[in-house]
Amino acid sequence: MSNLSLTPEEQSLLAGEAGPGVQRAMEIVVALGRIYGAGDLTPVQHVQISGVSYKNLGDAGVEFLNKWADSGAKVRVPTTLNPAGMELDQWEAMGISPDFARPQLTAIGAFVRMGVNPTMSCTPYLLPGLAPQRGDHLAWAESSAVAWANSVVGAYTNREGGPSALAAAIVGRTARYGFHLDKNRKATHVVEVACPVRDVADFGALSYLVGQAVGDGTPFFPDLGAWLPPLPADLTQGGEAGDRLKTLGAGIAAYGAVALFHVAGYTPEARDQGERLIRPDARRLTIDTLAPAYAIMDADPETVAIDLVTIGCPHASLTELQRIAERLRGETLRTRLWVTTARLTRERAAQSGWVQIIEAAGGEVVADTCAVVAPVRSLGIRTMATNAGKMACYAPMHSKVKMRYGDLDRCLDAALTGQWRDVPHPV
């Protein structure tokens, strides 16, 4: 327990002078600060709330949110939402039952009453006007976005829980501990990558091996930059490098609990500080093959018929949508394809005609949700294929599906033929 120092304004919020909903939020932020030994609170520039699908919330969670909204509490900083369990205005067309849709819409309505922007995406950093800047302090709860913000942008955020992120939004502050402090951002592991890492699926496989090895540590990659093209000037485009990094961050957060990684000469803090970022007691490891990861992640090798091919975990970038459209132009799919993305990214992709090309082939560019947080079993999905490491980790657990894992071309080939083509994975 720490002696947490509060400003007079913070003390008044804690005393309930701004109402019971704000008081409850301040109590949560202060309690976390005391538990984690924070000296004070820091203002936050943006909040991202996760765990908003009715599949995660249940009725108790919906009631909790409604009560908080009824108290009159409002967010004080820009606040966005993670994917829900369905497209908000297309749920009937998706085949979602009213028993799921009604409480889901009630939960989103409670967030909106509190002033939250219902972006329904795990990639707030791909949304123009919302992307964080270097040095920003954030309270983000989506673990893949946390890894991106800390590592690729050089912003500061801990891995918040859904309620603690909402509390931070309502008081506009979070406790200053953990990754908000430079001294805690040093690398605990040095991870040499001595095998090719050619595409998004390979970066997902790498994320499995690194996440398992480092747990909640902070890896420093001395040579991974060799497998990363330059990032685009406009990070909201994604770019091939952005797509690889968002997959890596999502996977090491899912297979481990990593919130920050450094790539020598590439990510902002590593560019500035180089090997000074490595703690003297850092452990060293070498990844010389991705084969063990593919063996685990491509979990059901006997599964050939695929019910759903899902691309876009974290939510697809413009670059991914373009690449998929170029591959599917003039084709006809034999299996259901979801390309999950942010609503705003879908609108931007439609301006270039990419959404229309994918839909003309029979694919669906799905906004607001993904194959983990949507009730896909109730849609008849039993087998899935993906090129995303986090999806390969979570969908078998959360959606009880059999999983095939491979690169984008192999996934789209499965969507075109209806069958998974068994060729050896690159190692």
Say if CB 140 and CB 48 are below 8 A apart: yes
Q: Is 315 in the site for ligand F3S (CB under 6 A)?
A: yes
What's the min distance (Å) between Cβ of 143 and ligand F3S?
8
Which range, of 13-21, 37-45, 370-378, 405-413, touches ligand F3S by CB under 6 A?
370-378
Round to whole Å and give the CA distance between 14 and 372.
37
- Beta pairing, strands 138-140 & 262-263: unpaired
Residue 75 or 250: which CB sits closer to ligand F3S? Answer: 250
Q: Which residues pair with 306 in a beta bridge?
A: none
Among residues 200, 313, 325, 403, the one that binds ligand F3S under rule CB under 6 A: 313
Per-residue binding letters, 331-350, with ligand F3S (x by CB under 6 A): ---------x----------
Reduced to 3 states, what is the DSSP secondary structure of residue 89? coil
Radius of gyration in angstroms for the set of CA atoms belonging to the chain, rounded to a whole number: 21
Give dist(CA 343, CA 119) in Å, integer: 7
**Planar angle of CA 307, 313, 315, nearest 5 degrees:** 115
Binding flag, residue 86, ligand F3S (CB under 6 A):
no
Q: Of residues 23, 144, 319, 399, which one binds ligand F3S by CB under 6 A?
A: 144
Closest CA to 82 of 314, 381, 366, 257: 314
* Block residue for tokens 């819409």: 105
CA 119 to chain centre: 13
Single out the residue of 33, 83, 162, 375 in contact with ligand F3S (rule: CB under 6 A). 83
Q: Which stretch binds ligand F3S (CB under 6 A): 32-40, 209-217, 307-315, 347-355?
A: 307-315
Q: Compute the distance between CA of residue 374 and CA of residue 392 in angstroms, rounded to an integer.
A: 15
Applying CB under 6 A, does 82 fall inside the site for ligand F3S?
A: yes
Looking at the Cβ atoms of 144 and 319, the one nearer to ligand F3S is 144
Contact between 119 and ligand F3S (CB under 6 A)?
Answer: no
Residue 314 beta carbon to ligand F3S: minimum distance, rounded to whole angstroms = 4
Does 373 bind ligand F3S (CB under 6 A)? Our answer is yes
Q: Are 61 and 207 in contact (CB under 8 A)?
A: no
Judged by beta carbon, residue 13 or residue 155, the one nearer ligand F3S is 155
H helix or E strand, kind and range, residue 173: strand 173-175
Per-residue contact flags (x/-) with ligand F3S for residues 390 to 409, judged by CB under 6 A? xx--x---------------
Q: Which residues bind ligand F3S (CB under 6 A)?
A: 82-83, 122, 144, 250, 313-315, 340, 370, 372-373, 390-391, 394
